[in-house]
Structure 1
C-alpha cells in the first residue's frame, strides 16, 4: 500500500492550478498561500471567512481527538473504510477527499486499512485547529484549511469524496469528482445518542425526514444503517462526546449539569452510510 498527498489543488481566489513550493503554493496569477510549519496549507482567504476563527474550536478538536483515538467510533471507521475501498478504482491510484476532515481520524483509518490499494489523500476543514491537529498526526496526507462551499480542488480530479457528519455541498462535490466518481456520506439517524439527548433536553424533537432522494447530479447507489450500543465508562468520555457535538451549545445549563453528574452511560450509535455516484 502506498499513501501519498493529493496535489491537484486549485487557487481559492481564481480556480487556477496551484504549484507547490517548499514554503508556499502559488498560481499563475501570483496568488500565494503559505505552507505552515506543520505541513498544511491555508486555502481559506480572509474575504471568504464568515468569522475570525470559523469551524470547531481548539477545545472541540481536542475532545474529538481524545474520543476517536480511544476507539469509540471504530465500528463506523471500519464500515466507512470498507465501503470507500469498494468504491475506488482497481489497479490505479485512488484520489480521496475528506470534506470536513476534522482532526483526520477517518482518513488515517482508511490509509491503515487500504491493503494493496494506492491512495492520494487530502483532508479539508474550515477549522485551522482541526487541520493543525491532523497535520501533526499524519504526514502522508495533504491537509488544507478550506471550505466545502469553495473547495480548493481542480475540477474532475477526485475518485471519492467523504462527508462525515458534515455539511455537504453537492454542486462542489460534482465539480471536483471525475465522471462516475462517488460520495460517501455519514449522517446521524433518529436514535443517535438518544440516551444522552434525553438527559440534556427537556424534550426531543421529532426525527427529520430520512426518505432517500436522488440529488441533482447524483444517483443513490446504496444506503446502510449502522447501529450499536456504546458504553462510555467515565465522566471524561461523556464530556468529550458532548464537547464534540453541537449539543454542547444547544443544551441549557440544567441539561449540561445533568450530563456532568453522570459517572457512566450507555448510548445508541445510529448512523446512515450513503453512497452516491456522480451522473
Structure 2
C-alpha cells in the first residue's frame, strides 16, 4: 500500500512537495508533519472554531465502539462498493473525507489484502486524525476540511463520505473522470430504539436525498439493515457519545440511557454510489 501524495496547498491550491517532515508549495507555504505522523492542512483563517470537529472524548468512544465490530457489516458493504468487481490488481487512490479515527480505511485494507491502494484519510478534528495515525501509519492522515480539500484535481479513483458532510463540487474536482463517490447516510430507522429512549418524542425521519449531485451519475443505492444488541452500559454509552444525539438529547434522556444495561437497536444505513461524469467539467475557486 502506498501513501497518497498528490496534495495541494490549502491556501493557494498549488502542489505540495515533501522535504523531510515538511511539505511546501512553490509560493513557500509550509506545513510540518506532526510527530504522531499526521499532517495539518487546515489553516487558522479557515477554521470556524478553535477546536473544530469531534472532541477527544467523542473520538475515543467511536474508536472503542467501532473496534468492537458492531458496524462491521457496514464496513464490509463499503469495502465491496470500493472494489471494481473482483479485480484486485488495480491500484486505487482513495480518500475517506471525514475519516474519523480511520476505522473504514483500515477495514478496506483488511477486506482486500491483495489489492493495491494509495490511501488518504481527512478529518476536520485533530483528535480524530491523531487517533487514526496512532492505529495505522500507512495511509496519509490529514487534518483538513471537505469544503477545501487539500488534494490536486483529478487524482482520486474513490472518495468515501461516510456519515459525513458531503461537498459534491469538491468531490467532483478531486475525482478522476469515471471515479466513484461512495456515500453512507443514516436511514430512517437507524438507532430508532435509542432515539425513542432519549427524546420525549420522535420527529418523522426524512429518508436520505435521492437527487444526483451535479457532475455525477448514479450507480445505485443499497440499504444495510440489521439488529444489534449491546450488552453493557459501556457499549451503550459509547454509542450515544459517538453520535450527534449526545448533544441534541435533553439531560433527562441521557440519564435514561445511562441506566440501561442492555439495548437492542436497529442499524439502517443507506449506501449510494455515484460515478464522476467524464463529460462534465467542474472547477472550484480557491
CA distance in 2, matches of 1:104, 1:209: 26
Closer/same/farther in 2, CA of residues 155 and 173 from structure 1, 3 Å limit: same
Q: Deviations over 1:69-98 (max 9, x none)?
A: 011111111111111113798643100000
Number of residues of Structure 1 aligned to a counterpart in Structure 2: 277
1:126 to 105, 124, 127: 124
CA distance in 1, matches of 2:68, 2:114: 26
CA distance in 2, matches of 1:172, 1:198: 36
RMSD: 1.2
Partner of 2:92: 94
Deviation at 1:209, TM superposition (A): 4.2
CA distance in 2, matches of 1:211, 1:137: 34
Q: SS where residue 149 of structure 1 aligns?
A: helix
1:229 to 227, 230, 242: 227
2:217 to 216, 219, 236: 219
Closer/same/farther in 2, CA of residues 4 and 258 from structure 1, 3 Å limit: same
Q: Runs of 4 or more off by more than 4 Å in structure 1?
A: 87-90
CA contact (8 A) 1:87 1:182 kept: no
CA distance in 2, matches of 1:70, 1:34: 33
Q: SS where residue 236 of structure 1 aligns?
A: helix
Please give the TM-score of this superposition, normalised by the length of structure 1: 0.97
Structure 1 stretches lacking a partner, 5+ long: none
Deviation at 1:135, TM superposition (A): 0.4
CA distance in 1, matches of 2:152, 2:266: 39
Q: Deviations over 1:227-246 (max 9, x none)?
A: 00001111000000000000
Structure 2 stretches lacking a partner, 5+ long: 278-286
Q: SS where residue 84 of structure 2 aligns?
A: helix
Q: Deviations over 1:135-188 (max 9, x none)?
A: 011111100000000000000000000000000000000000000111000100
Partner of 1:63: 61
